[in-house]
Amino acid sequence: MAEALSCAEELARLHDAGLVHGDVQPHHFIIDDQRTHLIDLGLAHGGRIPEAYDFPFRGCLVMYESPEISRSVVEQGSAVPTRESDVFGLGASLFISVTGLRAVEFPPEAEREEQRRVIAKGHHREVTIPGPLGAIVEAMLSPVPAERPTAAEVCDALA
């Protein structure tokens, strides 16, 4: 549980700085003896981006995408990452880290667009993780962005 808390704390720090990561997944957290580091800010949003460096956000690693990001990418070809979509990504990361399963079930051989269509429906596997971690992961995977806790609230729940 300490590792989950350290990941939530790092995401909360990023959000407190006014940034959205846009690609939260287990591979982007490095945990060492001192602290956790959130890396790969290539899709991060926040503040003004010079036009020459700006590009449409076309989603992230699909199995960590929130339903609203997948829906937007399928329907419009791009999306706008949010703190809520980052929290979903953290919830999906914690889910797979504990269970070994993707939070949303889809056939592994499915094309990327089909995977996104499944995710966009907002259904996830049953959360069977015991204790406070399971309860907060369930909340983080809510299909309704406004119903997800903030990263700071995730920290409070895991502290």
* pLDDT tens digits, one per residue of 134-157: 999 999 999 999 999 999 999 999
The pLDDT of residue 1: 83
Burial 65-96 (b: 16+ CB within 10 A, else e): bbbbbbbbbbeeeebebbbbbbbbbbbbbbbb
Question: 3-state DSSP call for residue 56?
Answer: coil
- Confidence check: pLDDT of 3 > 80: yes
Interatomic CA distance for residues 64 and 89, integer angstroms:
5
The pLDDT of residue 90: 98
The pLDDT of residue 157: 97
Question: 3-state DSSP call for residue 93?
Answer: helix
**What's the gap between Cα 73 and its chain centre?**
15
The pLDDT of residue 31: 93
C-alpha distance across the termini of the chain, in Å: 9
